Structure 1
Amino acid sequence: CNKTYYGEDCAEDCSTNCADQLCNHVTGNCFSCVEGRAGDLCVMSVGSEGGGGGDSIIPAVIGAVVAVVVITAIIVGFIIWRRRKNRPDEKQEAEEGVSRNGEARNLSQTYAAPELREDKRNSKHKKRSLKFSKTLSAKVNDGG
């Protein structure tokens, strides 16, 4: 066989990716490949740096990071949704008179009964004091 042919009756051409188009006369495997090609038949593409595939890790890392961010956002959104769903709404709170943190919504409900009684006593005491001072000033003015 001529060095650029192989196979039965040397009927097959060696690959154009073989250096100088030289190959084994039986198998067709290249002795060496042209630049940018690799493998027995020089059909695999490689980067100009030889090993090739070095840049292919960057898209994989970016894809993984994006996937982690999306999954995290979905989980956080689900947790927030569940908490809002389980929390009583404003209308229900108004009807019950209690806020989310347990404080009374109606301000009059925040005072204890003894405090209210004391306020009423002070109010009556002030009214009596005012009535007494009016009476006293009237007697003084009348000369009496």
Structure 2
Amino acid sequence: MDFGVLLGQAYQAFVQELHARLAERGHRMMGASYGYVLRSLAENALTASQLGERLGITAQGAAKVVDEMVKSGYVERRADPADKRAKLLHLSDRGRDMLDTVREFHADYERRLIARVGTDQVAVVRAVLDEIVSTTADSDAARAFRPL
């Protein structure tokens, strides 16, 4: 099997298992951007424009994702205390629960993988993936990666 195909299939298997775990906890993933939005807003409240900048997408693209997340109850819009015309985006309790579930899944997945193949093997996989990402970060393809 080609290396890229294997990477893609491994990622898809990971994502399918993540979505199943989220569904068990009452969360429905709408789009791939949700995780990036959750992590960004966990750090601090942002405007849609700031979020778009941070994720490397347009403000309109960020607003579309945020609209979906507000409708699903993961994000709240609140008035900016410094500028009543502006809206700041905050994680709702439901959004924090989803992020906690995702983080728990990531840690659990890695623990289960270590149990199957060993600590050294997982460390090698991490090192290879870090190398791929860091090498790409220096190229034009880096724009395809979000900063989180």
Fold agreement, TM-score > 0.5:
no
Identify the structure with bigger relative contact order (alpha carbons < 8 Å, sequence gap 6+): 2
TM-score scaled to structure 1, two decimals?
Answer: 0.24
| Higher Cα radius of gyration | 1
Greater share of residues in strand? 2
TM-score scaled to structure 2, two decimals?
Answer: 0.23
